Amino acid sequence: MTKEQVKKLHELQPLQKKVNRFKREPAYRETNFDHVHKMLDLFAYVVKRFQIKDVDHDKVTALILSHDLGEVGMPFDVGAFEKANCEKTAEKKAKKEGLTIMALAAEHGAFLFDLTDEYEEQKTRESTLVKALDRLDAQMRIFGVGIHHEPTQDKADFAMKNLLSASEIFPEVAELVEQIRQQAKPEFEKKFKWNPEFVTPNLKKDTATRQPLNRQE
């Protein structure tokens, strides 16, 4: 990954300002541009807090900047819940994303194909970290605004499972996931039934969680 390629990805980011996340939950709504830049902040926080030294920072930055570029041209992202519960929806979105990446790569460089493949295959430390950051930021948005905005138990459960999956994907963030889980539980229980199986994967038994969450520490 070259500095020039990372620069090009930064130049493409304004395209993401027109893509909105959380179509069916207006309270959570934000643009992909906002999401990507929060992920960059979260990356800096996680690397510092957990002393992650074995990842290529330029590659992680590039994967963050590129992981949602396939959604350019869509007024709304298709939510993870909708994709998980409707195979046709997931396939339709994947097809649109593939065509968009083809068009962007033709204009800006074939390296976009490589980044897309690396993120989808999830075989590198960098790609798994970015996937975990993606899950973390999305669920921090939901739990930060308020899980009570979810209309049903199954959607609330899905949000919690997505949060917990971040430390399954990248174990080093387990302490952060547990911290968010603990903070989210009281509000979750005000509207929804708590599942005792909502347990943070890969959490060390002697880990002391810290509250409140502060990305600037």
Tell me, yes or no, whether 215 lies in a domain: no
Residue 168 and residue 118: Cα distance in Å, rounded? 18
Flag whether 201 is in a domain.
no
Question: Which residue, chain included where needed, has tokens 């943070």?
Answer: 200
Q: What CA–CA distance (Å, rounded) separates 25 from 131?
A: 22
Q: Which residues of the chain have pLDDT under 70?
A: 23-24, 207-217
Q: Are strands 20-21 and 30-31 parallel, antiparallel or unpaired?
A: antiparallel
- 178-190 pLDDT tens trace: 999 999 999 999 9
In a domain, 203, yes or no: no
Across the strands, what pairs with 20?
31, 76
| 3-state class (DSSP) for residue 78 | coil
Q: What are the tens digits of pLDDT across the range 28-63?
A: 889 999 999 999 999 999 999 999 999 999 999 999
Residue 208 located in a structural domain? no
Q: State pTM to two decimals.
A: 0.91
User: Can you give the residue range of the structural domain that contains 162?
Assistant: 3-191
CATH of the domain at 183: 1.10.3210.10
The verdict on residue 206 lying in a domain is no
Q: How far apart are CA 61 and CA 8, in angstroms?
A: 12
Give the integer Cα–Cα distance in Å for 136 and 88.
26
For residue 213, being part of any structural domain is answered with: no
- Does residue 118 lie within any of the structural domains? yes
The total of structural domains in the chain comes to 1
* Residue 73 within any structural domain of the chain: yes
